[in-house]
Amino acid sequence: MKKEIYLIYKYYCKEYKLSDFKTKKLWNIIRPICYHKEFLTRFKPPYWHHDNKTLAEHIICDAIVTYKIITKPKLKKHKDIDINTTILIAMFHDLYEEPWQNNIKFKYKKIVNKHGFIHPIEAITNAITWFPQYFKDEQITFKIIDGILHHMYPLPVRALDNTKMELNNQQKFDKLSDKYKKMIEISTKIGKVGSLSFRKSIYLEGRILSKADKIVALGKDIKSINGLVALISGKNKKLLKKLK
Ligand SMILES: [Fe+2]
Ligand SMILES: [Fe+2]
């Protein structure tokens, strides 16, 4: 399986024309995450993310495009940009709990609790739970949290208030230490209107991933009208046919 994962990674590096040197450098950062048992499940059905690309493939493509952007000579002038943190935001940004397409569980949710709005909170909850080693430094942790929570901008993210969020990993969220919950609350309070927070990340690292995410999704991931419609409806007829 590990060899297969590396070949998938190399395939996408070629597709996005990442140099051999950068392919090696990036692999050193993302390898431990790719080989984690929870991450491995995202390489397989039913974790389709956009059309027939799996969630793990989507995340890897985001990491590659993010790395290409941050290592451009022009951006290197931003000497304070933290490459590792930016890549971590890419690797964790969509690490949500449940496959989102054609999932019957989702139809009972309140509008503000729909997948599009809550999946960044599920993602950061899973990331902290599965990869605690990356969340030791407070400043870096807040940067990662803020980048993940607001990656869907201009779409908003669910804000933490005293209403029920209907997270698919609510138990894991409840077990998070208060310091992380507080950071999530602070990050979603800024720009809050009702139960949603409308803003981009405060940090360049988060904004770069948000840009890469759109390049990947709209450039190569979504290849059909069904895939586009699924972004709004949560249902992808083409995928249903494929699974029959
Ligand atoms: Fe997302
Ligand atoms: Fe994404």
Ligand 2 centroid distance, CA of 26 (Å): 18
Q: What's phi and psi for 48, nearest 5 deg?
A: -80, 135
Average pLDDT over residues 153-174: 95
Ligand 1 centroid distance, CA of 198 (Å): 15
Tokens representing residue 164 in the block? 């029920």
Q: How confident is the model at residue 243 (pLDDT cuts 50, 70, 90)?
A: very low
Which ligand is nearest to the Cα of residue 152, counting in written order?
A: 1
Q: How far apart are the first and last CA of the chain?
A: 26
**Among the listed ranges 63-67, 108-112, 185-189, 227-231, which one has the minimum average pLDDT value?**
227-231
Residue with the larger pLDDT of the pair 236 and 243: 236
Which ligand is nearest to the Cα of residue 157, counting in written order?
A: 1
Tokens representing residue 203 in the block? 């940090």
Residue 104 CA to residue 101 CA, distance in Å, equals 9
**Block residue for tokens 């070629």:** 14
pLDDT number for residue 176: 98
Which ligand is nearest to the Cα of residue 153, counting in written order?
A: 1
Spatial CB neighbours of 47, under 8 Å, sequence gap ≥ 6:
41, 54, 55, 56, 99
pLDDT number for residue 49: 77
Average pLDDT over residues 70-76: 79
Residue 206 CA to residue 148 CA, distance in Å, equals 7
Which ligand is nearest to the Cα of residue 119, counting in written order?
A: 1
Ligand 1 centroid distance, CA of 9 (Å): 20
pLDDT number for residue 180: 98
Residue 135 CA to residue 137 CA, distance in Å, equals 6
Percent of the chain clearing pLDDT 70 (strictly above) = 88
Q: How confident is the model at residue 244 (pLDDT cuts 50, 70, 90)?
A: very low
Q: How confident is the model at residue 87 (pLDDT cuts 50, 70, 90)?
A: very high
**Block residue for tokens 């969340």:** 135
pLDDT number for residue 171: 97
Tokens representing residue 83 in the block? 């490459």
Ligand 2 centroid distance, CA of 49 (Å): 8
Q: Is the pLDDT of residue 15 over 50?
A: yes
Ligand 1 centroid distance, CA of 194 (Å): 21
Whole-prediction pTM = 0.91
**Among the listed ranges 45-54, 177-186, 206-215, which one has the minimum average pLDDT value?**
45-54
pLDDT number for residue 52: 76
- The residue among 193, 100, 211 whose CA lies nearest residue 154 is 211
Q: Is the pLDDT of residue 81 over 80?
A: yes
Q: If you average pLDDT over every residue of the chain, what do you get?
A: 90
Ligand 2 centroid distance, CA of 53 (Å): 12
Q: Is the pLDDT of residue 54 over 80?
A: yes
Domain span at residue 93?
Answer: 2-243
Ligand 1 centroid distance, CA of 119 (Å): 7
Q: Is the pLDDT of residue 10 over 70?
A: yes
pLDDT number for residue 238: 66
Residue with the larger pLDDT of the pair 47 and 83: 83
Q: How many domains is the chain built from?
A: 1
Ligand 1 centroid distance, CA of 17 (Å): 24
